[in-house]
Amino acid sequence: MMMRVLSILLILLTSFFFTGIIVRTKSIFSGRKGPGIMQPMKDIFRSLRKGSVYSETTSFIFQLAPTIYMATLLMAILFIPFGNQKGVLSFNGDFVLFAYLLALGKFFMVIASLDTGSSFEGMGASREALYSMLVEPAFFILMGSFALLTGYTSFAGIFGALHFGSYISYGLGILASFVFITIALIENSRMPVDDPKTHLELTMIHEVMILDNSGYDLGLVLYGTNLKFAMYGAIIANFFLTPGYEWYFSVPIYITVQVGFAVIVGTIESFSARFRMNHNPQFIFMFTSISLLIFLGILLGTGKIS
């Protein structure tokens, strides 16, 4: 049971410094000193200590949404294993519930933004819901492909039985990691789909959706981004935590993958510009195509087709 809890503790730990590494990487590439690695978490803690202000237009839905959003994220990380050790919750098809827990949290954030009565926030909510819907097939095709490869339908079973023994399998693993990195960027509304630093409501996506959130509620939403990044980083790390590694080898590998993931995100945001809105759907659909390519590679590798 202790090893099961280790996965949760590592995700929570890495969530504290993940965004800080992204910001630090961007500062280095732009030639600035920049803030410390823990500065984003200090800002979140500052928000968590403040009270929330609610518009008279909003109802109890707006007040509950950030708490439900955080609860779904905390519930979702219970399914993520640590190498060949199961998560706290594990059963056949658990990755389906994992995906729809995240969708439930996103749903409440969307209806909360609509609850404000603001056309700008409704516009941002519509865009974020669309992008989440478009990226969903890539996740399910990817997990279904590895379920076909390993013969298991749970996170723990898939990652526990996953072995890379050929150039093709290593290529599939790299492609899968790339798809998960992009899914994390899209789900967190980061570059090149969205720019968290933009200040124009017409071009905002996630930021305009949470304009009315303040204080404790805003702190929960901001920390949710950190937690989702660390959560997807944990899934990517599991591709490299093959059976046979003891925990004292697996933990350094896990931390290295998470730091590398954060550096990659910071690098992408340093050297890429945000796409035009009408280019985002094509960009997101491209990763469904990559997932289909992985599926085809697994079919060829397992001899299902020849």
Q: What is the structure's pLDDT at 30?
A: 85
DSSP 246-294: -HHHHHHHHHHHHHHHHHHHHHHHHH-PPPPGGGHHHHHHHHHHHHHHH
Regarding pTM above 0.85, the answer is yes
pLDDT tens profile 202-256: 677 788 888 888 999 999 999 999 999 999 999 988 888 766 566 777 888 889 9
Residue 124 has pLDDT above 60, yes or no: yes
Q: What is the structure's pLDDT at 101?
A: 94
Give, in order, the Cα–Cα distances in Å from 70 to each of 83, 132, 279. 25, 17, 30
Mean pLDDT for the chain overall: 86
With b meaning 16 or more CB within 10 Å and e meaning fewer, what string describes 93-118?
A: ebbeebbebbebbbbbbbebbbbbeb
- Contact by Cβ (8 Å): 216, 294: no
> Which backbone phi and psi does 59 adopt, to 5 degrees?
-115, -170
Among 4-8, 114-118, 164-168, 222-226, top mean pLDDT goes to 222-226
Q: What is the structure's pLDDT at 70?
A: 95
The full set of domain ranges for the chain reads: 2-301
